């Protein structure tokens, strides 16, 4: 039985077992709460403390919510079990993490969880306290890994929606809740500090948070103030060995071991490489809140949130290019994939890469609630949020003149790479090869306001309340970025050692390299050539101008590298070398929403629910940028120059629609219905139907158009097949639309005991992908039809699946065993139809790959969590295992231009705390206890080969928490 099928079967059996275990629980139940809160997050969080309190609070939110929701709460200060929001979210049924900051760059995995997927989809809306929050690096969603968990009182994941919720997520809505002073009836001062150590990096980092809150009664009413400050430092080392895509090669001779015969087609990776990345991040966050209740009719709340994530990483990478040509030493497996071989006089490349990113998000919001008495109540909200993202990447390359022989073995759990010959530790044998830089400066801000009114029916047997409201937003998004600017320094292997500048040559650059050894690589589990001369980090981490002042002394080949400028307007948008995108988006929404219910109307059983309609108009505005074709050369007098001359006339006709305003407006009608039936005092069922939208990503709306006129090799005869082509973004895109159907059955047999089942179905349409169509342009009196490739809407798809979750403390067991508890959940997701999208419309390889018959990116069919809990005698402990099945990371990974898949992955984490006093506890948290190795694969759905192997730190933290 395959591991995939085995795990699936085990998970299903576990689900059946959990039903049986739950049946052993005592039959004593808690009374069904007839009244439900207006806000699903408002629950009693004071009854008990520790893990039980967290589970009780999360269960109450789910049970009493008007929609389908799952939560993670932090009843104790700093009590979320993980260090970032994304890591905490992975414990929730239906949520999976992508452990890389960029799916198209899978060779560089993140130390913490990156993208968040809900029920297999990435279209997740992010909120703080029910309001917009986003990152300038994307313009839509929030980078959850940039948010410290210490700042939050809880996280709610809404898997279906109601009409009074803000639109914008087809997968779900993730709401981050911060604290307010009226949460606590007494003054509060709490501190949380920890020291986090990584065993592979052999480095430790201090983190801490403090929260202070109080409230006062005065003659002007009741006031409350709260301040929460968190500084979270974390570091990580990542070791990886990478292959490339496996290209087909027809053998011209037999391999020595007979695994490959002349005339057979085998598959060989183009390159092999290995690297170490030292990554560090400092998260600083401040949350402030003030509340004023002048009387029992008015409540004012002012909240401010500021978050900054500073990420710095240094990468030392080595590799051998061009191993694609086979020789007699090469061996292959039964499927024809390369398994071992020796490359003679191998190219020996090294590079040092610096990444230095700073992301900031600020959010200020003022809210009022007015309850004058009687049936009416009112509330309003005004918010301003601003986000910036500054991204810096700088790389320098060296090459070894005295090249070694390298033997590669891709077999077993981990490849090995051994070398013979070569002067790898000789500085004078390396030359300066190349440099590359990339910079971004992005920003986005939004002003949002809403006004809501509610009328409560006092004597109505069915309707309980009706609510209506309006919301308006004005968002401005500016993306400034460059391409990746590679340039030659002194020499490349293909230049033949001309004008070479060696690392030890006299000059400014002679002190800008050092001998690096790959100590304890993969904890000694594999062998790689362990020494080489690399550019220093100090050469690269002080800006491109500093690097150029030194590296320009190495440029002797006549053309070389020069640093990028931060004059982003000088770059051609859509030309591959960057540019500026300015977009303005405004929305106007109105909704009506009614709650209803009856104590005996559902076959003699109580039921309730809500029905509503939300209508939202979206308008985007930007400026069109059209780039005309470039024509060089001339047409000889003896030739027919009609086509050439017309092309020159078209190109010379002046600017074409330069700076023209583009405006796109669309309206969406979004109904929703949520029903709940109380089958018994402890068992309830839900049915929900809703429509949702996901607006296009900002990069897809870029307003550029690049036109090309294509000639044959003679330079003046038009290409007969594709004479006129072009590429561009599409500011006229429509949103992706979803109709969601949900059913759940929820058994709450104890305050911290539940067994729930949820099934879901999504119909999706208007997927965004790269498509081609004909567009007509006239310039200089000449009209052409261009075959344009743009992002476009089309195609339909379906998502189906179910979730099974179980949670219980076994209080009925004797003695110490009564502190034992279990949390478990299992998710199955399947999809049909639908389309992936290219991340770069200018890359024809990406566009073609996105059209392949592949699963949706990021969708694992199965995933599960299993946690063993213990809380008694002042001890709070948990051991949690998180697992997800293989999934497609990207249809076309950077550099290798092929689909990359993440293999099955599971990780074990744990924590244990002890209460020294009622107010002080100490503990230990551990991440990646089993040192799980990540393995990525490359290839089609039916034929994949190992591509990337990654080991990262096991982390352990010593924690001190106190609350007074």
Dist. CA 935–CA 442, nearest whole Å: 33
Q: Which of 633, 621, 788, 623 is nearest to 706 (CA)?
A: 788
Q: Which of 623, 618, 619, 620 is nearest to 581 (CA)?
A: 623
In order of 8, 13, 228, 305, the CA distances from 152 in angstroms are 34, 35, 9, 11
Residue 920 has pLDDT above 70, yes or no: yes
User: Residue 20: its pLDDT value, please?
Assistant: 34
Dist. CA 570–CA 572, nearest whole Å: 7
Nearest 10 degrees: CA dihedral of 707, 713, 718, 723? -40
3-state helix, strand, coil in the chain (%, to 5): 10, 55, 35
Dist. CA 528–CA 949, nearest whole Å: 13
What number is the average pLDDT over the span 484-503?
Answer: 86
Residue 9 has pLDDT above 60, yes or no: no
Report residue 13's pLDDT band, with 50, 70 and 90 as the boundaries: very low
User: Residue 956: its pLDDT value, please?
Assistant: 93
Residue 394 has pLDDT above 70, yes or no: yes
- The contacts of residue 955 (CB under 8 Å, 6+ apart) are 196, 197, 198, 199, 234, 236, 926, 927, 928
Q: Which residue has the tokens 């209508």?
A: 615
Residue 762 has pLDDT above 90, yes or no: yes
Whether 951 contacts 275, CB under 8 Å: no
Residue 308 has pLDDT above 60, yes or no: yes
- Evaluated on CA atoms 850, 855, 859, 863, the torsion sign reads negative
Residue 154 has pLDDT above 60, yes or no: yes
Dist. CA 595–CA 673, nearest whole Å: 10
Whether 120 contacts 860, CB under 8 Å: yes
- What would the two tokens of residue 811 be? 């209080």
- What would the two tokens of residue 600 be? 């005996």
Q: What is the CA radius of gyration of the chain?
A: 30
- Element (DSSP H or E) covering residue 97: strand 95-98
pLDDT digits (tens, 9 = 90+) for 718-757: 998 999 999 888 999 999 999 999 999 999 999 889 999 9
Dist. CA 821–CA 819, nearest whole Å: 7
What number is the average pLDDT over the span 224-250?
Answer: 92
Q: Is 23 helix (H, G, I), strand (E, B) or coil?
A: helix
Encode 683-713: b = buried (16+ Cβ within 10 Å), e = exposed.
bbbbbbbbbbbbbbbbbbbbbbbbbbbebee
Q: Which of 464-468, 659-663, 716-720, 739-743 has the lowest mean pLDDT?
A: 659-663
Q: What pTM was computed for the model?
A: 0.88
User: Residue 905: its pLDDT value, please?
Assistant: 92
Quote the mean pLDDT of the chain. Answer: 86
Report residue 320's pLDDT band, with 50, 70 and 90 as the boundaries: confident
Q: Is 52 helix (H, G, I), strand (E, B) or coil?
A: helix
Residue 776 C-beta-side C-alpha neighbours within 13 Å: 3
- Element (DSSP H or E) covering residue 457: none
Report residue 267's pLDDT band, with 50, 70 and 90 as the boundaries: very high
What is the DSSP pairing of strand 405-409 with strand 416-420? antiparallel
Encode 758-771: b = buried (16+ Cβ within 10 Å), e = exposed.
bebebebbbbbbbb
Q: Which of 107-111, 476-480, 638-642, 690-694 has the lowest mean pLDDT?
A: 107-111
CA 566 to chain centre: 27
CA 609 to chain centre: 34
Dist. CA 307–CA 522, nearest whole Å: 34
Whether 380 contacts 451, CB under 8 Å: yes
- What would the two tokens of residue 22 be? 């739950």
What number is the average pLDDT over the span 236-252?
Answer: 91
User: Residue 849: its pLDDT value, please?
Assistant: 63
Q: Which residue has the tokens 């090294």?
A: 350
Beta bridge partners of 748: 754
Report residue 575's pLDDT band, with 50, 70 and 90 as the boundaries: low
The contacts found for 845-850 with CB under 8 angstroms, 24 or more apart, are 845/892, 845/897, 846/770, 846/891, 846/892, 846/897, 847/770, 847/789, 849/891, 849/892, 849/897, 849/898, 849/899, 850/769, 850/770, 850/891, 850/892
Residue 863 has pLDDT above 90, yes or no: yes
Q: Which residue has the tokens 């990776």?
A: 269
What is the DSSP pairing of strand 724-728 with strand 704-709? antiparallel
What number is the average pLDDT over the span 832-849?
Answer: 73
pLDDT digits (tens, 9 = 90+) for 671-687: 999 999 999 999 999 99
Residue 41 has pLDDT above 50, yes or no: no
User: Residue 605: its pLDDT value, please?
Assistant: 86
What number is the average pLDDT over the span 112-121?
Answer: 77
Dist. CA 960–CA 964, nearest whole Å: 14
Report residue 611's pLDDT band, with 50, 70 and 90 as the boundaries: very high
Can you give 307-327 as a three-state secondary structure string? EEEEEEEEEEEEEECCCCCCC
| Helix locations, 149-300, DSSP H | none
Report residue 890's pLDDT band, with 50, 70 and 90 as the boundaries: confident
Beta bridge partners of 694: 736
Report residue 886's pLDDT band, with 50, 70 and 90 as the boundaries: very high
pLDDT digits (tens, 9 = 90+) for 800-817: 999 999 999 999 999 999
Residue 12 has pLDDT above 70, yes or no: no
Dist. CA 67–CA 138, nearest whole Å: 28
Residue 421 has pLDDT above 90, yes or no: no
What number is the average pLDDT over the span 769-785?
Answer: 90
- What would the two tokens of residue 280 be? 């560090």
Nearest 10 degrees: CA dihedral of 149, 151, 152, 157? -50
CA 775 to chain centre: 35
- What would the two tokens of residue 714 be? 């003679």
Dist. CA 559–CA 860, nearest whole Å: 47
**Residue-range domain boundaries for the chain:** 231-430+486-559
User: Residue 76: its pLDDT value, please?
Assistant: 64
Q: Which of 50-64, 349-363, 776-790 has the lowest mean pLDDT?
A: 50-64
What number is the average pLDDT over the span 432-442?
Answer: 93
What are the phi and psi torsion angles at 568 (to 5°)? Answer: -65, -25
Report residue 499's pLDDT band, with 50, 70 and 90 as the boundaries: confident
Dist. CA 57–CA 69, nearest whole Å: 13
Dist. CA 597–CA 705, nearest whole Å: 55
Dist. CA 421–CA 327, nearest whole Å: 19
- Evaluated on CA atoms 125, 128, 130, 132, the torsion sign reads negative
- What would the two tokens of residue 782 be? 């000449």
Dist. CA 898–CA 845, nearest whole Å: 9
Dist. CA 130–CA 379, nearest whole Å: 13
């Amino acid at each position: 039985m395959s591991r995939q099928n085995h795990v699936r079967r085990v998970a299903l059996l576990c689900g059946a077992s959990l039903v049986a275990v739950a049946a052993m629980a005592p039959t004593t139940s808690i009374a069904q709460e007839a009244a439900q809160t207006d806000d699903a997050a408002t629950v009693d969080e004071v009854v008990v403390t520790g893990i039980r309190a967290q589970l009780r609070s999360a269960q109450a939110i789910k049970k009493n919510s008007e929609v389908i929701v799952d939560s993670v709460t932090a009843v104790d200060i700093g009590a979320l079990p993980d260090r970032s929001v994304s890591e905490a979210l992975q414990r929730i049924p239906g949520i999976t993490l992508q452990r890389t900051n960029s799916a198209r760059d899978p060779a560089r995995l993140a130390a913490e969880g990156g993208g968040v997927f809900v029920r297999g989809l990435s279209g997740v809306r992010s909120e703080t306290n029910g309001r917009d929050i986003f990152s300038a690096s994307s313009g839509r969603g929030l980078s959850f890994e940039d948010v410290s968990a210490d700042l939050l009182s809880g996280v709610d994941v809404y898997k279906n929606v109601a009409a009074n919720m803000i639109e914008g997520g087809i997968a779900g809505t993730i709401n981050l809740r911060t604290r307010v002073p009226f949460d606590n009836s007494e003054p509060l001062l709490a501190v949380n500090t920890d020291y986090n150590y990584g065993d592979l990096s052999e480095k430790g980092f201090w983190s801490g948070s403090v929260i202070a809150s109080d409230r006062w009664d005065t003659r002007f009413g009741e006031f409350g103030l709260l301040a929460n400050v968190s500084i979270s430092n974390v570091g990580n080392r990542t070791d990886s060995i990478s292959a490339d895509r496996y290209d087909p090669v027809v053998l011209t001779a037999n391999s020595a071991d007979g695994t490959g015969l002349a005339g057979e087609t085998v598959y060989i990776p183009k390159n092999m490489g290995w690297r170490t990345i030292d990554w560090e991040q400092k998260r600083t966050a401040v949350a402030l809140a003030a509340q004023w209740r002048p009387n029992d009719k008015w409540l004012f709340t002012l909240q401010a949130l500021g978050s900054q994530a500073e990420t710095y990483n240094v990468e030392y990478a080595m590799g051998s290019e061009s191993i694609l040509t086979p020789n007699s030493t090469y061996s292959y497996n039964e499927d024809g994939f390369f398994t071992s071989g020796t490359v003679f006089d191998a190219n020996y490349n090294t590079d040092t890469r610096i990444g230095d990113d700073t992301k900031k998000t600020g959010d200020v919001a003022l809210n009022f609630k007015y309850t004058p008495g009687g049936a009416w109540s009112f509330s309003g909200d005004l918010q301003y949020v601003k986000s910036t993202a500054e991204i810096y990447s700088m790389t320098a390359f060296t090459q070894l003149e005295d090249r070694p022989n390298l033997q590669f073995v891709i077999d077993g759990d981990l490849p090995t790479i051994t070398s013979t010959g070569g002067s790898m530790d000789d500085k004078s044998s390396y030359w300066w090869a190349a440099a590359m830089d990339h910079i971004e400066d992005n920003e986005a801000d939004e002003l949002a306001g809403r006004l809501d009114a509610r009328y409560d029916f006092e004597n109505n047997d069915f309707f309980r309340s009706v609510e209506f409201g309006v919301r308006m937003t004005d968002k401005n998004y500016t993306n400034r970025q460059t391409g990746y600017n590679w340039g030659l320094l002194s020499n490349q292997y293909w230049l033949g050692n001309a004008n070479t500048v060696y690392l030890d040559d006299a000059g400014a650059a002679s002190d800008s390299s050092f001998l690096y050894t790959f100590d304890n690589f993969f904890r000694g589990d594999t062998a790689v050539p362990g020494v080489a001369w690399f550019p220093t980090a100090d050469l690269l981490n002080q800006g491109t101008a500093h690097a150029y002042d030194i590296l320009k002394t190495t440029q002797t080949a006549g053309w070389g590298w020069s640093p990028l400028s931060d004059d982003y307007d000088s770059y051609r948008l859509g030309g591959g070398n960057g540019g500026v995108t300015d977009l303005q988006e405004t929305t106007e929404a109105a909704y009506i929403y009614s709650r209803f219910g009856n104590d005996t109307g559902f076959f003699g059983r109580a039921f309730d629910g809500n029905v509503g309609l939300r209508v939202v108009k979206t308008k985007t505005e930007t400026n069109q940028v059209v780039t005309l074709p470039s024509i060089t050369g001339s047409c000889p007098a003896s030739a027919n120059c009609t086509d050439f001359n017309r092309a020159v006339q078209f190109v010379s006709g002046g600017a074409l629609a330069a700076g023209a305003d583009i405006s796109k407006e669309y309206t969406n009608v979004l109904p929703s219905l949520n029903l709940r039936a109380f089958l018994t005092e402890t068992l309830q069922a839900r049915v929900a139907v809703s429509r949702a939208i996901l607006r296009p990503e900002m990069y897809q709306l870029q307003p550029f158009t690049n036109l090309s006129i294509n000639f044959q090799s003679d330079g003046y005869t038009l290409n007969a097949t594709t004479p006129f082509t072009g590429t561009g973004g599409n500011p006229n895109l429509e949103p992706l639309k979803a109709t969601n159907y949900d059913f759940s059955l929820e058994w709450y047999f104890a305050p911290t005991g539940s067994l729930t089942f949820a099934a879901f179905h999504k119909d999706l349409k208007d997927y965004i992908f790269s498509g081609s169509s004909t567009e007509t342009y006239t310039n200089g009196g000449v009209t052409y039809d261009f075959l344009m490739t743009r992002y476009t809407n089309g195609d339909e798809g379906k998502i189906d699946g179910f979730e099974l979750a179980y949670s219980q403390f076994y209080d009925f067991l004797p003695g110490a065993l009564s502190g034992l508890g279990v949390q478990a959940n299992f998710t199955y997701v399947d999809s049909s139809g639908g389309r992936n999208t290219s991340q770069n419309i200018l890359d024809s390889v990406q566009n073609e790959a996105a059209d392949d018959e592949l699963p949706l990116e990021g969708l694992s069919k199965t995933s599960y969590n299993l946690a063993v809990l213990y809380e008694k005698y002042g001890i709070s402990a948990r051991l949690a295992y998180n697992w997800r099945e293989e999934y497609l990371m990207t249809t076309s990974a950077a550099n290798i231009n092929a689909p990359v898949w993440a293999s099955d992955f599971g990780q074990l984490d744990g924590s244990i705390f002890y209460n020294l006093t009622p107010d002080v506890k100490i503990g230990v948290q551990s991440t990646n206890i089993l040192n799980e190795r990540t393995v990525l694969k490359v290839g089609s759905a039916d034929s994949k080969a190992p591509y990337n192997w990654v080991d990262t730190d096991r982390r352990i933290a010593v924690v001190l928490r106190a609350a007074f």
